[in-house]
Amino acid sequence: LQGEQQETNSQLLKSVRMVETPVVFSVTSTQTETYGAGEVVKFPNVISSVDPGFPGWNPATNVFQVPVSGFYFFTTTLYKNDGYSAEFSYTARLETTGGTSVEIDNWREGASYAWYSSTVSSVVECNVAETARVITGTAATIYDCANCHRNQFSGFLILES
């Protein structure tokens, strides 16, 4: 029985293709920014970026360019300090040029002081040179403070294809 288990484990390991090219990025924002609808959210602080000789994260455009075809995990968190206003809403999208779009919706009605954060994550199949970015769906002020890093956008290659 032990020999059969070892053989099964060996076959399983052979069937799983390991990622040969590490691709990772994690970026944040540490300032409050006001955006119009359809604007690319800015993440000027690069926490980590492992993309050996490939385009990867571009801090000038705030867009990630896929260097290796495969399945990627992307996640973004946006933070909102609403103050004492009666209501607010905002949407943002994590989208790729390959057609994938995952939306964050955050809406509140009622007069109270409010702090909100929303996170969306997705596994997406991407081809080389496709891009991923976070854009606003509605006009919004996204809140942060110096060295808080509340607003984040990260991604990594799970499986090459």
DSSP string, 90-156: EEEEEEETTS-EEEEEEEEESSS-EEEEEEEEEEEEE-TT-EEEEEESS-EEE---TTT--EEEEEE
How does residue 62 score in pLDDT terms, banded at 50, 70 and 90? very high
Q: Which residue has the higher pLDDT, 137 or 23?
A: 23
Q: Which residue has the higher pLDDT, 57 or 3?
A: 57
% of the chain at pLDDT higher than 90: 10
Q: What is the mean pLDDT of the chain?
A: 76
Q: Lowest-pLDDT range, 78-87, 89-98, 142-151? A: 78-87
The neighbour count for residue 41, using CB atoms within 10 Å, is 21
Indicate the helix (H) or strand (E) that contains 59.
Answer: none
Distances (CA, A) of 120 to 21, 152, 160: 25, 11, 23
How does residue 42 score in pLDDT terms, banded at 50, 70 and 90? very high
pTM score, whole prediction: 0.77
